[in-house]
Amino acid sequence: MLTTIDLRGHAPSKSELRRVLPRGGTDVNAVIPTVAPIVEAVREGGAAAALDYGEKFDHVRPEAVRVPREVIAAAVDTLDAEVIDALRESIARIRKVHAEQKPTPHTTTLGQGATVTEVHIPIDRVGLYVPGGQAVYPSSVLMNVIPAQEAGVGSLLVATPPQAEFAGQPHPTILAACHLLGVEEVWAVGGAQAVALMAYGDDAEDLEPVDIITGPGNIFVTAAKRLVNGVVGIDAEAGPSEIAVLADDTADAVMVAYDLISQAEHDQLAASVLITDSEEFARAVDREIDERYTVTLNAERVKEALTGQQSGIVLVDDMEAGIAVADAYAAEHLEIHTRSAREVAERIRHAGAIFVGNYSPVPLGDYAAGSNHVLPTSGTAAFSSGLSTHTFLREVNLIEYDEVALKEIAPHVIALADAEALPAHGEAIRARFESLPTEKDN
């Protein structure tokens, strides 16, 4: 069922791997001409324009962007008790992990009276996007809201699409998750128009703009985030979900097959990649997938994802080559199913999150491992990180030198300023210790 790429018999370069490994074909640039007018219209027209686009695209128009607090609170009553319990347990685990991510101030002493202190200041206001579409994502509420809360942000809002079947309000499961987290500001707006409205706000409707926008979305949401980046900060340009599994002949073919299927049900463009040095194991996994994917609710979506160009099996000579391929692929989610799985995991340099062994599957991380599931996609894990408490903090240095300390370093500063032909920089130092001539004196 999966396409096979055979890299055995030679050591492919990083350049070759970038060309031959399975990748999706999403092109954000292709939709920029469609999204740019939406962003501009919302910048000019505010909430009314955003609601117009929601009505046009999704055929639903809420009475107002802001969801009433009583509607948010009442949504909890629509959930089964077991779902509420699951959300509460996930919240506790995610909160513990993200609370312990918060850094503490650190002072470096460079000499008597010379210190640099790094402090971490929360972003004032954040906008957290939670998608709708083919599934309901209360887990995305948790993954966005909790790190922002643990960072100590001043205020936050959740934007999520309205639903016609719920009288123009967001899905009640999303609202219930917000209520359990104490979120009181929810905007019933989705798509590119939601991103634009969070960036520019609307004074007439008392919709204050944010300073950073985080959270995954479709290609139109991603394009809008690109367009407003600079007006506000963004976490990343998220692509379709992806999983890579690095496995040897000790792995369980049924477990691996289900893990590949589980990520494929996210989206037709989702990527599922198996990297292995065992051709026999590869055949076994492919056979299990073919026999088992049809029983899932989203079988057609799974089939389209698994047979797409973004998914496949990569055969390598050995685990050394497998690690190199995994690093070159830089998966959003990477599972390790090998001998000494923890040792192999610690050698991986590029992955959004690494799931070690048979009992740490990606779906655990999607919901309740405690880690964050908003992760870099499309190979960007080679240079960026997933969402965390750090996303909502800014590192600021406090530089404090007394007179003696500045006088000690002054000759070096002046020498470097002169070398750069910026003499006024040096004069700003000398002026603290000498009476410098003025233009009038000359």
Distances (CA, A) of 209 to 35, 95, 191, 222: 19, 26, 16, 18
Cross-strand pairs, 157:
127
- Contact residues for 331 (Cβ-Cβ < 8 A; gap 6+): 242, 243, 244, 273, 351, 352, 381
Choosing from 98, 179, 333, 350, the catalytic residue is 333
Q: Is 333 a catalytic residue?
A: yes
Q: How many CA atoms lie within 13 A of 274 on its CB side?
A: 37
Q: At residue 112, what is the residue type?
A: Q
Q: Cα separation of 139 and 386, whole Å?
A: 15
| Residue 241, marked binder | yes
Q: Which residues contact 173 (CB under 8 A, 6 or more apart)?
A: 75, 78, 79, 83, 136, 138
**Of 237, 242, 332, 335, which one is the catalytic site residue?**
332
Q: Binding site annotation covers 412?
A: no
- The DSSP bridge pattern shows strands 271-276 and 312-315 to be parallel
Q: Is 258 annotated as a binding residue?
A: no
CB atoms within 10 A of CB 167: 11
What single letter denotes the amino acid at residue 21?
L
Amino acid at site 156? L
Question: Any catalytic annotation for residue 265?
Answer: no
The residues, ordered by sequence, that sit 6+ positions from 329 with a Cβ below 8 Å of its Cβ are 17, 21, 244, 273, 275, 350, 379
333 is in an annotated binding site: yes
Q: Is residue 425 marked as binding?
A: yes
Residues 6+ apart with CB under 8 A from 154: 122, 123, 124, 125
Q: Is 350 known as a binding-site position?
A: no
CA dist., res. 235 & res. 380, Å (int): 12
Per the annotation, does 266 bind a ligand? yes
80 in a labelled binding site? no
Q: Which residues are annotated as a binding site for Zn(2+)?
A: 263, 266, 366, 425
Q: Which residues are annotated as a binding site for substrate?
A: 241, 263, 266, 333, 366, 420, 425
The residues assigned a catalytic role are: 332-333
Q: Which residues are annotated as a binding site for NAD(+)?
A: 129, 193, 218
